[in-house]
Amino acid sequence: MGADQDGRKFRFDSGNVSSITDRNGNQATIASSGGTTTITDPLGRTTQIASGSITYPGVNGAARHITVNYAALGSVLASGQGLETMAQLFPTLPNESTQTEYDPEVVSSVALPDGSSYTFQYNSYGEVARMTLPTGGAIGYQYPGAMGTCPASGATGCVESDHDSQGNLVGIVERRLLTRYEYANGGTTPTRQTNYTYAVTSQYNTQVTEVDEDGSGNTLRQVQDYLTGDAWTPDVWGTAADYYGDAGTGMRYETVTLSGSGQVLRQEYQTHGWRACAASNWPQTGGGAEPCWWVSLNWPMDHDPQLCAEWTVLSDGSPAPSAATLYQYDQNNNRTDSYEYDYGAGPAASSTSCPAVSGGWTRHVHTAYTGGTYGTFNTGTPVTSAWQPGLASDRQTLNAAGTKVGEQQYSYDQANLVNEPGMVGYSSSFAGVNVGRGNLTTSAAWWNTNNSYPAHTYTYDIAGNVVTDKDANGHTTSYGYADTYSDGVKPEHVCARDERDQRAGAGGEVAVGFRGREGDDGDRYRRGEHHLQLQRSAGPDDAGGAGGECWWIYDADERGVYEPDGRECVQRPGDCGRQSAAGRDGV
């Protein structure tokens, strides 16, 4: 049994994942038999993966098929490519065949359920040279040609030779992408391309340069990325320690963005640290030390890397006028603090060490976490154990003077769960377990005018779905999750959601853009306190009946964009009976 910080549990049988259970007990199972893998999601829907095909359910349970087609490499070669022997492909490697051509089976196309497909062509090495998209466009890739001996670090299209700990000759193949082409309308003339070059810096780190060009070959911009470690230093000794790179290997520590003419526009630096092994108070060892086994072996291994600082440097290239953000973490690798410095006010840019926090920051954000049972994995009840150390309990924002300017408080699992009988894909281990799930039940924002915390509260069912949503003004929205589309005939006329606060309120009629068959010249729009509502007279085919009226309900999302969210129909004049209806299929 394994677990991640989001509360998901992974069960392994015979070395393979057999089920995944989320923090609310919703369970997906994975089973293999006869070359077919069947994945059953918490709603009972199955996806089958077999050799060359993926089958999953579509609308009304109709089977949808993705087909993966294969062919011999020789039949799907790109223009100018041909089959070659291994000796021709890698002339510097000893004892390679000079007779048998390299002709493996490769993916030739992937057909989608709508009949469209991706098709692939390859070079002699079996690398994708061109991918044609379902829309007709294409993407091309160019790799090095002939493979010689690497003259030095930073080269590509070559073979490095070395000996392992037993004295055996080992060849390291260096083949990195040189160019990526885009063909917006297919054809052979690229509309955009990106060129890549590689090098080793004087500090034995890796530099990758990306140059973007338009279809006429004009340089649009250049980006230089610097990564820790020499990517050409081969780990060929074959000992266990060789499988763990030096701490920080491969992490980007600097990015330089230049204009098409080569003028530096922006420099960005990052510095990383690593979480120290806890010497005590480690929950999984009963309060003892964390078992960092690689430390005692003196193996260089990344241990929970942490971004501890980042800088943005102005275009003049000087490291002094830089904006900085410094970060701090707890022993569970949760980010607890961020300190933002304006240009010129923070520590100087660096890519080698994590700077200490000093005064002069512009904004400080501090986050506290729940800990307690949420931060402890109970091996006695592994399936239902809370183990969610990343649940925030309080987040405060302070200004440069250290004064609080904003705060948000969070609470979890404060109310019993609503039972949903007859659920498919639900773990029986969660029956009757109402705590430790990590469902946000209260979100309270600080109000600085009277030092109060108006709260938004939620309740849930046993599957972790929101059942009620009550805002700080006491207005409640209730949700139901019954199958409302089972008849497949008039899905907009069956109950899906009960809106308990659908008052038009003040605001009168408003004019808004609207798409949908219900929007005719006789429709009226009224903006309520929480919704935008469309009113029309109900026709013979509407739930309201002759002379009734229907309201389409629109909720505003975080962008202020109104989306169809349901519909209410008054049965007939003077009848207060109402029916909520899902409107997304009918709009």
Residue-by-residue DSSP string for 58-95: -GGG-EEEEEEEEEEGGGSBPTT----BHHHHSTTSTT
For the chain, report the end-to-end CA distance as a whole number of angstroms.
Answer: 45
What separation in angstroms does the CA of 492 have from each of 9, 69, 183, 556, 568? Answer: 37, 40, 43, 20, 10
Token code pair at residue 577 = 């009976």
- The Cβ of residue 533 has, within 10 Å, a number of other Cβ atoms equal to 20
Strand duo 497-499 + 16-21: pairing = unpaired
Q: Is residue 244 part of a domain?
A: no
Do residues 362 and 398 lie in contact, with contact meaning Cβ atoms separated by under 8 Å? no
**Residue among 487, 486, 467 at smallest CA distance from 477:** 467
DSSP state of 112: -
Residue 529 inside a domain? The answer is yes
Beta strands in 41-155 (DSSP E): 46-50, 53-57, 63-72, 105-111, 117-122, 128-132, 138-142, 148-149
At 171 the pLDDT is 74
Scanning the structure block, which residue is given the tokens 């999750």? 481
Q: How far is CA 400 from the centre of its chain?
A: 33
* Spatial contact of 283 and 375, defined as CB atoms under 8 Å apart: yes
Q: Which two tokens stand for residue 377?
A: 């994995």
What tokens appear for 578 in the block? 């109402």
Of 101, 102, 100, 136, residue with least CA distance to 116: 136
547 in any annotated domain: yes
Q: Is 569 part of any domain?
A: yes
CA–CA distance from 293 to each of 222, 287, 289, 296, 297 (Å)? 43, 17, 11, 6, 7
User: Would 97 be classed as within a structural domain?
Assistant: no
pLDDT of residue 150: 81
Which residues share a beta bridge with 312?
268, 323
Q: Is residue 478 part of a domain?
A: no
Residue of 567, 398, 423, 419 lying closest to 493 (CA atoms): 567
Dist CA 211 CA 192 (whole Å)? 11
In a domain, 508, yes or no: yes
Q: Which pLDDT score, from 0 to 100, does residue 320 have?
A: 57
Structure tokens at 115: 């009949």
**In terms of C-beta density within 10 A (0-12 exposed, 13-18 middle, 19 or more buried), how is residue 114 classed?**
exposed
Work out whether strand 524-527 and strand 264-274 pair parallel, antiparallel, or are unpaired: unpaired
Buried b or exposed e, range 76-93, using 16+ CB within 10 angstroms:
bbbeebeeeebbbbbeeb
- Measured CA to CA, the distance from residue 275 to residue 335 in angstroms comes to 11
Q: CA–CA separation, 559 vs 443, rounded Å?
A: 20
Collapse the DSSP code of 544 into the 3-class scheme (helix H, G, I; strand E, B; otherwise coil) and give the result: coil
158-163 and 148-149 beta bridge pairing: parallel
Domain that holds residue 561: 490-581
E-assigned strand segments in 303-415: 305-313, 322-329, 335-341, 363-369, 392-398, 404-412
Beta partners for residue 379, in sequence order: none
pLDDT at 300: 56
Q: Is residue 537 part of a domain?
A: yes
- As a whole number of angstroms, the distance between CA 386 and CA 394 comes to 19
Query: In total, how many domains does the chain have?
Result: 1
Per-residue pLDDT of the chain (587 residues; tens, 9 = 90+): 777 778 888 999 988 999 999 988 899 999 999 889 999 998 889 999 998 899 999 988 899 999 999 999 999 999 999 999 999 998 888 788 899 999 999 999 999 999 999 999 999 999 999 999 999 999 999 999 878 888 766 778 888 777 777 777 777 888 999 999 999 999 999 999 999 999 988 888 899 999 999 999 999 999 999 998 887 766 665 565 555 566 677 889 999 999 999 998 889 999 988 888 877 777 667 778 887 766 666 665 667 888 999 999 887 655 556 899 999 998 888 999 999 999 888 888 777 778 889 889 999 999 999 977 777 766 666 666 777 888 999 999 999 999 999 999 999 999 888 888 777 888 888 877 777 788 999 999 999 999 999 999 999 998 899 999 999 999 999 998 776 554 444 333 323 333 333 333 333 333 333 223 333 333 333 333 333 434 333 333 444 344 444 444 444 444 444 344 444 433 333 322 333 333 332 22
> What distance in Å separates the CA atoms of residue 319 and residue 308, rounded to the nearest whole number?
18
Report pLDDT for 506: 34
Q: For position 389, what pLDDT does the model report? A: 85
Contact between 324 and 346 (Cβ < 8 Å): yes
